Amino acid sequence: MRATETKTLPENRETPAGGSLKIYNPKDFPAYLPKLNQLFDDLFSGGKGFRAKLIQMMATELGLEQRCERLLAQTIEFIHNASLLHDDLIDGSPLRRGKTAAWRAYTPEYAVLAGDYLLARVMVNLSSYGNIRLVQYTSEVISDLLEGEWLQDSLVGDFDIDLSQLDRVHNLKTASLFKWCLRAPFLAISRNEPSLHTILEEMGTLLGQLFQRGDDLLDFNVRNDEGKAVMGDLQAGYLNSFGVFAAKESDRTQLKTCKTLTQFYHCVGGETIFWKKVSDFDEQNKFLIQLYRHHVTNLEKYLLPEEKHLLKKLEPLTDILYWRKSERRG
């Protein structure tokens, strides 16, 4: 029976499509619910699995046992994918990872239930590990994520929003998962010092903010090597962080009719000004990168000698998340 199967950690395997620790084992889901399994098969194929890789990196350097590493990687992927299921439905996004989004391929009801199911699995699997602090923290992160989702929905059609308000939403919605990736491996080995977690929390916040801002730039076709759809946010009525920054001195009412990049250039005063704004935005974010690196340096005193290699792995993350340099190049 399903319930007894999950008392121990599932035997996860690496997904060939992801080529990473983005773990999904069909046995982890009830065999008598074929549609749910089919939905998860679709959902878990593709994607970069960045968060799971981050867990893998942390786990390796902290010497976590493989069972724990898999549990954490699975947890973050389940939470992330649950949020995507809900997110696509809320945003009305027709595509996810180049395929029809779950709510359209199945039904909105199935998408909601599948997302809820993943979050429930997270709690079942994590609680079987027996670290109550980790379970509590994970629950907090899930509630932060949902709060962020809730708040972000209230911003659709709001073109007068300011960056500090958006940062608060992104801290809940995006950064919470990065914070979890950094803090959970330490909690899993009962390294609970408040000072250590303050630093990790700040680092996660900065990574989340930088990732979100980098992602928002892709929407305006800046450093968009991954070929993300352009102007999707504005077309959906959502002014993202770069949009807010670039349109700071512009007539915001014009943004409502902005559907193409050319129209956006016009809104902010021309293409030259647009690129100047990109440069200013980068300059502002360089402070966040500097702050992140400063925290990485400070992390050193909390690490054991054999863990210090972690610092070299953590430092270049901003290159990947904000500057969108490929991991190989990075």
Is 151 a binder of another protein (CB under 8 A)? Answer: yes
Which of the 8 DSSP states describes residue 20? B
Measured CA to CA, the distance from residue 69 to residue 236 in angstroms comes to 37
Is 112 a binder of another protein (CB under 8 A)? Answer: no
Helix (H) or strand (E) segment spanning residue 35: helix 34-44
Measured CA to CA, the distance from residue 204 to residue 177 in angstroms comes to 8
Q: Which of 8, 100, 136, 198 touches another protein by CB under 8 A?
A: 198
Q: What is the four-CA torsion angle of 15, 326, 77, 182, rounded to 10 degrees?
A: 130
Measured CA to CA, the distance from residue 10 to residue 44 in angstroms comes to 16
Nearer Cβ to another protein (20/138) = 138
CB atoms within 10 A of CB 52: 27
Q: 63: which 2 tokens?
A: 């010497």
For the bound state, the minimum distance from the C-beta of residue 318 to another protein, rounded and expressed in Å, comes to: 15
Measured CA to CA, the distance from residue 96 to residue 117 in angstroms comes to 19
For the bound state, the minimum distance from the C-beta of residue 271 to another protein, rounded and expressed in Å, comes to: 27
For the bound state, the minimum distance from the C-beta of residue 165 to another protein, rounded and expressed in Å, comes to: 4
Q: Which of 149, 298, 316, 325 touches another protein by CB under 8 A?
A: 298
Q: Interacting stretch for another protein, rule CB under 8 A, among 15-23, 116-124, 153-161, 256-264?
A: 153-161
In contact, 281 and 246? CB cutoff 8 Å: yes
Is 4 a binder of another protein (CB under 8 A)? Answer: no
Is 290 a binder of another protein (CB under 8 A)? Answer: yes
Q: Interacting stretch for another protein, rule CB under 8 A, among 20-28, 87-95, 273-281, 289-297?
A: 289-297
Is 158 a binder of another protein (CB under 8 A)? Answer: yes
Is 160 a binder of another protein (CB under 8 A)? Answer: yes
Question: Cα–chain-centroid distance for residue 191?
Answer: 24
CB atoms within 10 A of CB 98: 7
Is 164 a binder of another protein (CB under 8 A)? Answer: yes
First-to-last alpha carbon distance for the chain, in angstroms, is 45
Crossing angle for the helix pair 271-299 and 261-268, nearest 10 degrees? 90
Is 168 a binder of another protein (CB under 8 A)? Answer: yes
For the bound state, the minimum distance from the C-beta of residue 20 to another protein, rounded and expressed in Å, comes to: 29
Backbone angles phi, psi at 162, to 5 degrees: -110, 165
For the bound state, the minimum distance from the C-beta of residue 283 to another protein, rounded and expressed in Å, comes to: 9
Which of the 8 DSSP states describes residue 304? -
Nearer Cβ to another protein (300/306) = 300
Is 133 a binder of another protein (CB under 8 A)? Answer: no
Is 275 a binder of another protein (CB under 8 A)? Answer: no
Is 91 a binder of another protein (CB under 8 A)? Answer: no
Q: What would the DSSP string read from start to end of 105-136?
A: HS-HHHHHHHHHHHHHHHHHHHHHHT-HHHHH
Is 201 a binder of another protein (CB under 8 A)? Answer: yes
For the bound state, the minimum distance from the C-beta of residue 191 to another protein, rounded and expressed in Å, comes to: 15
Is 260 a binder of another protein (CB under 8 A)? Answer: no
Binding site for another protein (CB under 8 A): 151, 154-155, 158-162, 164-169, 171, 175, 194-195, 197-199, 201-202, 205, 286-287, 290-291, 294-295, 298
